[in-house]
């Protein structure tokens, strides 16, 4: 009799398990399908990203080759094409290098607008501030001092990646605006700044000497030239620099 009861219990238990399995089966199948779709989506995105990166990288290399062949028209068009890339880093590169070429062509306002677009789009703090610095430098000869000051002052904070370059640029802007005393004080601070690159220190000392000798206005263009970053210096990770190389 005990065997009969055990057999009945086993049967009931089996029926319950079967019923439970039937209820859970759609969920289990759905989870499996979701996992498969998820993995497929990740793989698909990676493949898409790689394809877009390869495409944009080739456009960038073609632009650099055009520059090496002194075909600035083609280079400008190719950098412009990069600004439509779905990959942000290449969009930023397109705006930055287009801006450099506009500046080289004597179109500072257009250059500044392109640098501003790069700054607005960039997520990396260094790249963002580099674009802002280049925009300010592009406008140095045409914009009022107050505008240049407003652009550069936030970049001079010690926590910003290019604060020394921004301080140097602001000192030059003051000198150009006739604020010689303030400019000298800024150059003096730069010449004594801990951790300042040797180039910054040397230029600051030269600036002080020229100001003291009364030649400050004459050295303004030389100072600006030393601060202006090469137009072809910005490259996405893994891409070569332009023919003029990276700034020191």
Other beta carbons less than 10 A from residue 114's beta carbon: 27
- Pull the structure tokens for residue 17: 């398990």
pLDDT tens by residue, 85-123: 888 888 999 999 999 999 989 999 999 999 999 999 999
CB 210 within 8 A of CB 193: no
- Pull the structure tokens for residue 196: 């300042």
The residue with greater pLDDT, 9 or 95, is: 95
Other beta carbons less than 10 A from residue 2's beta carbon: 6
Other beta carbons less than 10 A from residue 141's beta carbon: 12
Give the phi and the psi of residue 247 in degrees, each rounded to 5.
Answer: -70, 155
What is the pTM for the complete model shown?
Answer: 0.72
Cα Rg of the chain (Å, integer): 30
CB 204 within 8 A of CB 190: yes
Angle separating helix axes 72-82 and 88-104, nearest 10 degrees? 150
pLDDT tens by residue, 150-201: 999 999 999 999 999 999 999 999 998 989 999 999 999 999 998 888 988 9
């Amino acid at each position: 009799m005990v065997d009969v009861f055990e057999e009945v219990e086993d049967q009931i238990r089996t029926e319950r398990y079967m019923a439970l399995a039937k209820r859970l089966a759609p969920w289990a199948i759905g989870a499996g399908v979701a996992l498969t779709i998820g993995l497929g989506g990740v793989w698909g995105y990676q493949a898409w990203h790689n394809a877009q990166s390869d495409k944009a990288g080739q456009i960038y290399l073609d632009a650099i080759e055009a520059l090496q062949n002194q075909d600035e028209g083609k280079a400008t068009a190719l950098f412009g094409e990069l600004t439509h890339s779905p990959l942000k880093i290449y969009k930023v590169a397109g705006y930055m290098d287009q801006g450099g070429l506009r500046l080289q062509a004597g179109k500072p306002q257009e250059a500044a607008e392109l640098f501003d677009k790069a700054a607005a789009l960039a997520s990396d703090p260094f790249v963002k501030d580099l674009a802002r610095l280049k925009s300010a430098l592009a406008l140095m000869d045409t914009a009022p001092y107050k505008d240049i000051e407003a652009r550069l002052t936030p970049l001079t904070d010690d926590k910003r990646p290019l604060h020394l370059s921004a301080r140097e640029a602001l000192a030059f802007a003051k000198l150009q605006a006739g604020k010689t005393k303030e400019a000298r004080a800024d150059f003096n601070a730069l010449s004594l700044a801990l951790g300042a690159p040797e180039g910054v220190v040397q230029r600051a000392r030269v600036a002080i000497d020229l100001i003291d000798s009364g030649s400050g206005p004459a050295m303004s263009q030389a100072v600006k030239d030393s601060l202006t970053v090469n137009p072809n210096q910005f490259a996405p990770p893994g891409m070569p620099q332009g023919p003029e190389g990276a700034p020191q």
